[in-house]
């Protein structure tokens, strides 16, 4: 049974469907940059209440505009994806930062990653004290010799000048109620619910960022695909940047984000064709579901999923489109 990401009544049982037509947006000539945001894949949007829809739409728009403002002023793709994801981490509707899903023990263990097209990367898993895990992941990339840190201490985050909070900051009443329902039903929670962003800046540089609270009622210490470079997050200049959401274990086994890059690099596929092939072979054919946002080096944006829905925001050349 899959729970509504707001913590409301459980949604209907989710099934893996055939991939929906992939949305492909070419970079308009008057916009030398591109940005796409996702707020998680999962149940059917038609099942959301009006308030849920409005809340998710507002959250996606706010996040998109935060990143767009960076790019419009000539900022970097890395700054843009981080600004975008911070907005979603601070919005309790989404499964990242405050309001994230809870482990079986009732705690929030947060994962995040960032990667630039030049090959720099940083990630954190089971973070419990940094208010914005995506910024901690960026600090790992920029201020350490490592790529992935597990359960980094508050002292490290504070030393790097990041905002540190009590772990209870992340826990909301809606998520407590969700966990109580899952405990009563003796079942696991939704395998979807991750936020992320990809960007190409005016210089042509690419970046991706992903952040999540994981699965509701997951075992303590479980880590999904989001902080695994090449699984849920990947970027390479002259190819693509991609951020994924969905059944994390399947994305890890299929090395999904890198598989898309490999199809482009070695098989010569364009971004849309590579995304469609990877989703079909590594998700649909393996009875797993999810989605992603990606941007190619030429600014082409692709939004795709085989789950019933994907919360996303992107610019179609005329306006910002949300809630696909």
CB neighbours of residue 111 within 10 Å: 30
Q: Is 107 annotated as a binding residue?
A: no
- How far apart (Å, rounded) are the C-alpha atoms in residues 194 and 98? 13
Contact 199, 295 (CB under 8 A): yes
Q: Is 222 annotated as a binding residue?
A: yes
Q: Is 42 annotated as a binding residue?
A: no
> For helices 271-278 and 256-267, what crossing angle results, to 10°?
130
- How far apart (Å, rounded) are the C-alpha atoms in residues 63 and 87? 5
Q: Is 248 annotated as a binding residue?
A: yes
Distance of CA 220 to the CA centre of its chain: 21
300 is catalytic: no
**Could you give phi then psi for residue 96, rounded to 5 degrees?**
-165, 140
Q: Is 247 annotated as a binding residue?
A: yes
One-character DSSP codes across 303-319: EEESSSEEEEEEE-SSS
Strand 194-200 and strand 148-150: pairing?
unpaired
Which residue among 23, 194, 212, 322 is the active-site one?
194
CB neighbours of residue 203 within 10 Å: 10
Q: Is 40 annotated as a binding residue?
A: no
Distance of CA 287 to the CA centre of its chain: 21
- How far apart (Å, rounded) are the C-alpha atoms in residues 302 and 293? 6
For residue 68, what are the β-bridge partners? none
Contact 226, 127 (CB under 8 A): no
Give the pair of three-digit tokens for residue 26: 């070419």
Looking up tokens 């996606």, which residue turns up?
A: 60
Q: Is 223 annotated as a binding residue?
A: yes
> Which residues belong to the annotated binding site for substrate?
222-225, 245-248
Q: Which residues are catalytic?
A: 194
> Which residues belong to the annotated binding site?
222-225, 245-248
């Amino acid at each position: 049974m899959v729970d509504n990401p707001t913590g409301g009544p459980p949604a209907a049982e989710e099934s893996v469907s055939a991939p929906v037509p992939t949305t492909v947006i070419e970079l308009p000539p008057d916009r030398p940059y591109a940005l796409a945001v996702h707020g998680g894949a999962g149940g059917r949007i038609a099942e959301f209440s009006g308030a849920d829809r409005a809340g998710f739409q507002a959250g996606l728009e706010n996040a998109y505009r935060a990143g767009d403002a960076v790019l419009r002023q000539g900022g970097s793709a890395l700054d843009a994806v981080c600004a975008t994801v911070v907005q979603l981490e601070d919005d309790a509707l989404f499964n990242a930062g405050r309001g994230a899903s809870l482990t079986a023990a009732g705690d929030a263990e947060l994962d995040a990653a960032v990667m630039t097209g030049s090959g720099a990367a940083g990630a954190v898993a089971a973070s419990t004290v940094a208010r914005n895990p995506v910024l901690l992941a960026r600090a790992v990339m920029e201020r350490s010799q490592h790529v992935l840190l597990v359960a980094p201490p508050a002292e490290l985050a504070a030393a790097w000048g990041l905002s540190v909070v009590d772990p209870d900051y992340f826990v909301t009443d809606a998520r407590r109620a969700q966990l109580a329902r899952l405990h009563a039903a003796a079942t696991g929670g939704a395998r979807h619910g991750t936020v992320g962003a990809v960007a190409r800046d005016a210089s042509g540089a690419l970046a991706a960022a992903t952040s999540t609270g994981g699965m509701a009622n997951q075992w303590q210490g479980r880590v999904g695909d989001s902080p695994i470079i090449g699984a849920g997050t990947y970027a390479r200049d002259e190819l693509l940047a991609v951020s994924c959401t969905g059944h994390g274990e399947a994305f890890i086994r299929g090395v999904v984000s890198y598989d898309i890059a490999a199809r482009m690099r070695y098989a010569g596929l364009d971004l849309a064709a590579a995304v469609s092939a990877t989703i079909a072979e590594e998700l649909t054919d393996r009875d797993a579901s999810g989605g992603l946002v990606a941007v190619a080096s030429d600014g082409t944006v692709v939004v795709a999923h085989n789950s019933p829905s994907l919360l996303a925001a992107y610019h179609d050349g005329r306006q910002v489109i949300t809630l696909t």
